[in-house]
Structure formats: C-alpha cells, structure tokens
Structure 1
Amino acid sequence: MHCLRFDGTFVTWRQVARRALLQGLAPHQLQWQDDEAAPGLFDQPAERTQEPSGRLRVSPELLELLESAAQYRGDERWSLLYRVLWRFVQGERSAVLAGDPDGSELHRRLKAVRREAHHLHAFVRFQPCVAPAAPDFVAWFEPAHDILAAASGHFAERLGKHSWLIATPRDGVYWDGQRLQHERHCPAQWQDWAQHPDDSGQALWRAYYGSTFNPARLNRTAMQQHLPLRFWKNLPEGPLIPQLMSEARAGAQRDGQARVLAGRKGKRIARMNEGDALRPLSGISGSDAPDLPR
C-alpha cells in the first residue's frame, strides 16, 4: 500500500495522481492523505523515486469535472477521483457516466457542490464593518463543501469597487476592489470582522425581511427545503423567521403582506391563490437582495 501525502489542494493532487498513473499504480494500491487528515498508525510514506517520464492524455472536460468534484467533503474524496481518472485513462469512458457506480457517485457529488454554491450566492449577507483597516463589507458563511474559492467570484461582479470579505470556519476570501485573495486557512482577524459586523447592517436586513415577508405564501416544508435550518443561525433575519411563521399560523395568512403593513391605511393585498401558497418563505438573495453595498 502506497500512502500519498499532499497539501489537500486539487492542483497538488493532480500532480501526485499523474506520477502515480505513470508508475502504473492502481487505485487499490493507494491511500490518499491530505494535510487535514491525521496519519494512521500503520501508514508508511511513499518511497522517494525518480520522477517517472511519459505523457498522459486527459480531456480538459474530465479535469474540470474532477476539479469540481474535489470540492466535495466526504469519504474517499480523493480516491474516487483517482479511480475515475485511472479507469478513464485505461479506456473505460463509462467511468464518468451516471449509469456507472463510480460515475453515479461522481455526479452526485457534483450536484451537491453546485447546490452548495447556490446556497453561498443566496444566503450570504454582506454587512458594513466599521473596524479599523476592515473592508467595506463582511460576511460569515458555513458551507458544507469547499466551494468558497470557486463560487465567490460571483460577488466581485456584483459589488464592483467595494472591498469585502467572506470568512468561514476553514477558509476565506478577500476582494480589495481589483483582486480576489483566497486563504485556505482563514485569518483570525477576518473571522472576527465577519462575526462582529456593524449593528446597523443587521437591523437593515431584519427590517427588509420583516416588511417583505408574505404570510399567505408560507409553506414550511418547501421553505425549509430552499432555506435549510443550518443557515438560520447566521442570517441577520434568522431570529425573525420562527416569529413570522408563528404569526402566520395564528391567522396572519389571511393577509397578503407583512403584519406591520397590513394594519396601515391603503389598498389591501388579497390573499394569494392556493397554488401561489406553495411558494416558500423567501430568503433574500440575488436580484431580491437590498442594495446594501452600493
């Protein structure tokens, strides 16, 4: 058994995998260990050998699939990628197809990664930060997979020249207005800024969410599918959600708008049709988000 240790990045894994392929090492002969895994009791480091020579031809499309799947946190994170790569190089093109056992697991992981990237775009809440030397806006997020580096460029396009950062328990990204910096181990200062934003930003998010909440459209099951419970604790509006749901069940669903607006003078919005009631309690994301950072 060859134990291949590397730094836990796809770039380095690709280099190590290439050497293993050129040496003719089959998947069952390898044990992958990144820098976040503790060494096993009987692990033996791979012997240092001369760099193997030769050429491998792998399609860019396959490498792109493997790089995306490498963001998935789970068992056999790297061994599955090598198994798919090994089989593909051996001529088994079915290794990447959904009907194949390895291909099916690969596509399941790709789907989970894409969904978590969507969660990042939908549930990140940028808030002002007034701490000295801090960026204009900060956000805290706890992703289930390592999607931050690949998916955070979305915000660089939206926030323009404003500086911002997203901190997670593992890694972090910082946009200075021109360049995106990714740190695999998030600096403690970034985490502190992200977890202690200015109170005015939180109040603005809560005011926006509370005023746009439509109790007539509440569907608890659908809402929790689109806005999983694990995100509530880090949303500024998170504490409002149980209260708004309770008010909806207590009779507020007869109104087609938030309680703070339903009691005011003016034209009343009728309750939505039964089909419209399936629309989940909306999070604030994408084009629905308030223009906080403009």
Structure 2
Amino acid sequence: MDVQVNLAGPVDLAGFRSEVRQLLAQQVPPESVQWQLDAAASQYADAEAPQASRPRNVARAATAIVPASFTRLCEFVVLHRDPDRFDLLYRLLWRLVHEPGLRNDPVDGDMLQAQHMAHAVRRDLHKLKANLKLRSVREDDGQELQLACHEPAHHVVEAAGPWLCKRVAAPRWALFTPERSVRCPEGKLGYGPGVPRWSLPNAQASDADWLDCYRRVFAPKPDARPDADA
C-alpha cells in the first residue's frame, strides 16, 4: 500500500527530514512513497499539512546516521526544479541505510544524478548573485528604493535571500521573480508572491512601473492590523 507524504512547499527540507525519519522507522520502501506538495505550495505556505495517511507516534530510533556530505547535498537538491527530487533523495537515503557501500561508490547512478542536480542549483544561485542589477527609484515620500528582477531556473530565491540581505548595500531593496519575491527594508528580510513572467518590469520600464510592481507584491494585506502595543 502506497504512503502519501505531504510537504508544505517546494523547498520544505525540514518537512522532508521529519517525514523520512517516520518512513525509515516504519521501514517504508521508496517505491511505496508518493511525495505531494501542499495545495498552497505555490505560495510556500507555512502551515503544516495534515498527515492522516499513517500514525505519527513512531519512535525516531530508526533514523539513519548518514554522511554529512549527503545532508549538505540534500540542501541543494531540494531547490532543484525536478519534480522527482524528493523521490531521488529518499531512495538514496534508503540505500545508504541498506547499502553501506554506496557512500564509497563514485559512479552510482542515483548519486551522480543528485550531484548533478546540486551543481545546477549552485550554478543558478551564483548566477542570481552575480547578475543582480538593481534599479534605483524614489517613492512618494522621497525614500530611495532599489529594485531588481530575475528569472532563476530553480527554487533558489529563499536560499539567496539571507545572502543578499547581508551583501546588498542599499538599505531598502526588493527582488521580483516569477515564483517568489523577496525584500529587505532596513535589514528585515521578508518574502512575497511571485510576479508573472509577462508582467516583470524590464530595463525599458519606467520608475512608475517598477514602483507599481513593488506595491502590488508587498502592499499590506486588507486584514492587516497594527500591533496592539503600537
């Protein structure tokens, strides 16, 4: 009988780690697992999806001790756009548990595929960081705002956010991508929805177009309320 596992979004590494502990504890083979993204995955919802397909009170003693290099590999592979990445990672983890010699096999097909995927993600992250071109605009109150667009090949925006927040000199900036947007006003990192590819501002867009895009993405929600202590 297949087991359906729901993850909270396309880069839910924490959820994946939690789930594989349960799967290993129950000795569920990779071919019996179906990985599904939460219905709100396109918005990277934080809410945990219900896991009614199997019991939750399973001991974690069966969690495998795996090489640190594999743990690091997972951090990059989950950012890849391949829809079968979670299947691949769990299959590799299962094999590391049951085939200890795998870690010393330099030509294993699954391991090579995962390494190639991780390399593609690293390259995509580097491309985002190296090619970021910020455009300076002025808001109505005169404050400067640096804005940029990018179209990454993989799910790298949230991974790049902390790095950008430390390295971009502008005190207020934002980056739009088709999948996810990120901003960092005064060092406070935050995320918003993506901007459809067809409506991303380009080099010929006016300052007003860039500001309009920023307001659409990061405008306060209608039900937002001021803090009680304000």
| Mapping 1:228-267, distance limit 5 Å | none
Q: Which runs of 5+ in 2 are unaligned?
A: 42-50, 208-230
Distance 1:96 1:59 in 2: 11
TM-score, normalized by length of structure 1?
A: 0.56
Q: 1:151 aligns with which of 131, 140, 160?
A: 160
User: 1: CA distance between counterparts of 2:147 and 2:101?
Assistant: 44
Distance of 1:36 and 1:48 partners within structure 2: 19
CA 1:76–1:187 in structure 2 vs 1: closer, same or farther (change >3 Å)?
Answer: closer
Q: Please give the secondary structure, in 1, of the residue aligned with 2:187.
A: coil
AA aligned to 1:186 is: P
**Given the alignment, which residue of 116, 119, 142 partners 1:108?**
116
Q: What is the aligned partner in structure 2 of residue 3 from structure 1? A: 4
Deviation at 1:10, TM superposition (A): 1.2
Q: CA deviation at 1:47?
A: 2.2
Task: Pick one of 79, 84, 102 that aligns with 2:87.
Answer: 79
Matching residue of 1:271 = none
2: distance between equivalents of 1:82 and 1:37? 23
Amino acid in structure 1 at the alignment position of 2:55? T
- Number of equivalences: 191
The answer to whether the Cα contact below 8 Å between 2:21 and 2:60 also exists between their aligned partners in 1 is no
> Separation in 1 of the partners of 2:53 and 2:105?
34
- 1:231 aligns with none
Corresponding position of 1:69: 77
Tell me what 2:137 maps to: 129
Distance of 1:20 and 1:178 partners within structure 2 = 39
Structure with the higher fraction of residues in strand conformation: 2
Match in the other structure for 1:99: 107
SS in 1 for 2:186: coil
Q: What letter corresponds to residue 58 of structure 2 in structure 1? A: P
Name the amino acid aligned to 1:153: P
Partners of 2:165 and 2:40 lie apart in 1 by: 32
Question: 1:47 is matched with which residue?
Answer: 53
Paired residues for 1:16-35 under 5 Å: 16-35=19-38
Mapped to 2, the partners of 1:135 and 1:31 lie a distance apart of 48
Cα gap change, 1:36 to 1:50, in 2 (>3 Å): closer
Larger radius of gyration: 1
CA distance in 2, matches of 1:187, 1:113: 19
The root-mean-square deviation of aligned C-alpha atoms, in Å, is 3.2
How many angstroms does 1:142 deviate by?
A: 0.9
1:239 aligns with: none
Deviation at residue 28 of structure 1 after TM alignment? 0.6
Structure 1 residue runs of 5 or longer lacking an equivalent are: 39-44, 201-294
Farther-moved stretch of structure 1 (171-180 vs 18-27):
171-180
Is it true that 1:167 corresponds to 2:209 in the alignment?
no
Distance 2:173 2:186 in 1: 8
Identical-pair percentage: 26
Q: Any conservation in 2 of the 1:165–1:174 contact (CA below 8 Å)?
A: yes
Q: Match for 1:177 among 175, 186, 190? A: 186
Classify the secondary structure of the residue corresponding to 2:174: strand
List per-residue Cα deviations over 1:111-149 (Å, max 9, x = no partner). Answer: 110111121022221101324488721111111101112
Q: Is the 8 A contact 2:3 2:54 kept in 1?
A: no
SS of equivalent to 2:91: helix
Q: Which residue identity lines up with residue 32 of structure 1 in the other structure?
A: W
Q: TM-score, normalised by structure 2?
A: 0.70
The one-letter code matched in structure 1 to 2:193 is C
2:193 alignment counterpart: 186
- The alpha-carbon distance between structure 1 residues 101 and 68, as it changes in their structure 2 partners (threshold 3 A), is same
